[in-house]
Amino acid sequence: MKFLKFKAENLFSFKSVNFDLNERGLVLINGWSEDENSHNGSGKSSLTSKGLVWALYGKTTSGRKGDEVIQRGSTSCYGEVEIISNDGNIYSIRRERGPSKLSVFKKSDLLLDEDISCKIQSETQELIDQLIGKDYETFLNTDFFGQGFSASFMTLPSQQQNALLETAISLEQINMWIDNAKELKRTTKQDASDLEEDYFLLHGRLCEIRKAKKEQELKNKSYSSQLAELTAKLKNKDLSSLEKRDKELNDSYTKGEKQFLQCTETLNKLQRERSSLLAAKKVVKQNLCPTCDQQIDTNKYNVLLEEQIQIVEKLTDTDRSIKAVQSSTNQWLAYCTEKKKEREIVQKDLAEAKLIESKIKSITDFLIAQTDWYAKELLILQEREKIEKELPLVTEKLNIVDFWESAFKVDFKSFIFERICPFLEQQATKHLRNLGQPQMTVKFSTVKELKSGENKISFNITIESSSGGESFDSFSGGEQQFVSFAVGLAFADLVKKTTHNDSNIMILDEPFVYIDNNNAERFINYLQNYLSKEKETILLVSNENCIKELVPNKVLIEKRHGISTITYGANIL
């Protein structure tokens, strides 16, 4: 994979930049800031570890991202990198802020390039990682070496070294196996848990069934005794005779009630007639009008007298009729009362008989429809027996899955790491020798001895020096820088060998601080005689005076009024 060109506008301290990255050889990037009157703050890193890395991955080597990359006073910026990917095609990666946008274009012989960007920026970033052949972390540990190596592969915690190695040497398949084993373990554990829960529930149901069966047996014995007693009582009650007698009494009562009502109606009618007759009855005096007491003639008097005689006769007949009807009414009332009392007695006996019959039916229905607890108990026992056969199989499967998860997670990875340790040692030793540090020895292992004396599976790096020093911390700052540089290069060699993902560029952003003349010469000789054969473009950012005289190909970045420009040695396209 080749980097061809880097362009940007309003990015960090650069207003505009168009920088050739292809086959530049070893390029020393110096800087001077008139604003600070210093070599620092000129914008050297804005071109490399900030601008270029941000355009590729959306954040700088120090983690800066978002709108803080936009040049002060501007509202938007972009960075664009042109590359040739391993598939032989040319791609342009363009990242913008204000607003945020990430695009990938495939160069074409046609007038318009093909936009192959994804809808989601995270997916577009994954595409960029594939085109470059490295993600952010791998790039920083293979193609970039930063100031003082404060976050180099050498100084990373063992767990992060492991993770970086897994990503760098493409252990995705093993990681996929690990994930599959974890998922299978999870589902198998769930199956075992479900079976155990089902077994527990079945045991509880079996206890309930056996308790219910015992209770039912006791109830059956009690109900059978009650059934015999109730049947005998119902026989004595003769339910059909009681129902027949109840009907007869009801009919008689209905008949008597009808007669009683008729008598009552007749009696009321007679009472009304009697009241009318009494109202019409008057005392008739000789030749006097009974109403106004005036003299009337004899004929009219005789007519009135005759009328009063007839009223008196009618009153007499009505009183006789009332007495007779009243007697009949009293007789029918007595009759109805008698039949009602008789029927109440019969209905009481009938209700008792029906209650007995209902109890007999309930008991009979219960005895007929009672649960077959024996069949249920047998079914539960069969289900429990099935679980007892399945559970050992699931447990055995879980043990197998445990074994393979451990194999994929620890054993296989340990095996692979053990196989790459000699390669890393060989490459690190070679780089140290070429850097003029043959007295140092680097050892890689997958076993780390704890203070307790126990061994732990962990990626481990140990360094020794024949001139003194048995640990990385015991070395001088210069020695630490050389060791970190050599280990980082060995890691880059491993990535290249295992994945064939290599680029034509290396960024060295002040990799050595306070380097002396001898080591500076050894370092530049290594870059020119060895590393330049592997990398077509090496961007060396440094202000060390002892290095400036050793590198003829220089780029000068000057900063005035907050704006950085490439003013000398830049191969502007």
Is residue 569 within 8 A of residue 553, CB to CB? The reply is yes
CB atoms within 10 A of CB 303: 10
Residue type, 311: I
Kindly give the residue spans of alpha helices, DSSP state H, lying in 133-171.
136-142, 158-168
Q: What is the b/e burial string over 220-240, where b = at least 16 CB atoms within 10 angstroms of the residue's CB?
A: eeebeeebeebeeebeebebe
Average pLDDT rounded to a whole number, residues 410-430: 81
Mean pLDDT of 506-525: 82
Max avg pLDDT among 175-189, 258-272, 285-299, 508-522: 258-272
Q: What percent of the chain has pLDDT over 90?
A: 31
Is residue 181 within 8 A of residue 401, CB to CB? The reply is yes
* Highest mean pLDDT pick, 8-22, 151-165, 435-449: 8-22
Give 466-475 contacts, CB < 8 A, sequence gap 24+: 466/439, 466/440, 466/441, 467/439, 472/154
**pLDDT of amino acid 26:** 93
Greater pLDDT, 62 or 54? 54
Using one digit for the tens of pLDDT, what is the confidence trace for 306-349? 888 888 888 899 889 999 999 999 999 999 999 999 989 988 88
By DSSP bridging, strand 25-33 and strand 537-541 are: parallel
462 bridge partner residues:
443
**Of the given ranges (30-39, 155-164, 221-230, 320-329), which has the lowest mean pLDDT?**
155-164
568-571 contacts, C-beta under 8 A, 24 or more apart: 569/27, 570/19, 571/19, 571/20, 571/24
Instruction: Single out the residue of 404, 486, 415, 439 nearest to residue 185, CA to CA.
Output: 404
Q: What is the rounded average pLDDT of the residues 491-515?
A: 82
| Per-residue exposure over 488-522, b if at least 16 CB sit within 10 Å of its own CB, e if not | bbbbbbbbbebeebbbbbbbbbbbbeebeeebbbb
Identify the pLDDT of residue 149. Answer: 42
Percent of the chain whose predicted confidence (pLDDT) is above 70:
89
Return phi, psi of residue 549, to 5°. Answer: -75, -15
> Residue 185 has what pLDDT?
86
Between CA 184 and CA 178 the distance in angstroms is: 10
**What confidence score (pLDDT) does residue 265 get?**
93
* pLDDT band, residue 363 (cuts 50/70/90): confident
Range in 208-212, 343-347, 432-436 with the lowest mean pLDDT: 208-212
Q: Supply the pLDDT for residue 3.
A: 95
The stretches of 372-507 forming alpha helices (DSSP H) are 373-406, 412-434, 477-499
Q: Which of 168-172, 299-303, 386-390, 433-437 has the lowest mean pLDDT?
A: 168-172
When pLDDT is cut at 50, 70 and 90, the band that residue 449 belongs to is low
Q: End-to-end CA distance of the chain, in Å?
A: 21
Angstrom CA distances, 313 to 181, 274, 282, stand at 124, 11, 13
Write out the two tokens for 12: 């960090």
In the DSSP assignment, the letter for residue 87 is: T
Q: Give the tokens for residue 198.
A: 């089902």
H or E stretch at 215: helix 172-237
Reported as a single tens digit per residue, the pLDDT across 84-123 is: 998 899 999 999 999 999 999 999 877 788 999 999 999 9
Question: Who has greater pLDDT, 181 or 566?
Answer: 566
Which of 52-61, 191-200, 215-224, 545-554 is predicted least confidently?
Answer: 215-224
Q: What is the pLDDT of residue 544?
A: 80
Is residue 337 within 8 Å of residue 256, measured between CB atoms? no
Q: Are 93 and 80 a contacting pair, CB within 8 Å?
A: yes
Residue 58 has pLDDT above 90, yes or no: yes
Taking a C-beta distance cutoff of 8 angstroms, is the pair 3, 83 a contact? yes
Please tell me the distance from the alpha carbon of residue 95 to that of residue 7, in angstroms, as a whole number.
11
Please give the model's pTM, rounded to 2 decimal places: 0.60
How buried is 164 (Cβ within 10 angstroms: 0-12 exposed, 13-18 middle, 19+ buried)? buried
Could you give the maximum distance between any two Cα atoms of the chain, in Å? 181
Q: At CA 102, angle to CA 90 and CA 13, rounded to 5?
A: 95
The whole-chain average pLDDT of the chain stands at 84
Which of 130-139, 240-249, 395-404, 443-452 shows the lowest mean pLDDT across its residues? 443-452
Within a 10 A sphere around the Cβ of 81, how many other Cβ atoms? 23
Q: Ramachandran region of residue 394, left (φ > 0), alpha (ψ -120 to 50) or beta?
A: alpha
CA dihedral of residues 417, 419, 424, 430 (deg, nearest 10): 170
- Mean pLDDT of all residues in 5-11: 96
Partners of residue 444 on adjacent β-strands: 461
The residue-averaged pLDDT of 477-497 equals: 85
Confidence at residue 116, expressed as pLDDT on a 0 to 100 scale: 95
Rounded Cα–Cα distance for residues 282 and 266 (Å): 26
Q: Which two tokens stand for residue 470?
A: 């048995």
Closest residue by Cα to residue 58 from 90, 96, 20: 96
pLDDT for residue 482 is more than 50: yes
Specify the pLDDT at position 455.
57
Q: Quick one: average pLDDT of 450-479?
A: 74
Write down the pLDDT at residue 53: 94
pLDDT band for position 301 (cuts 50, 70, 90): confident
Per-residue pLDDT tens for 218-264? 887 887 888 888 888 777 778 788 889 889 999 999 999 999 999 99
Beta bridge partners of 151: none
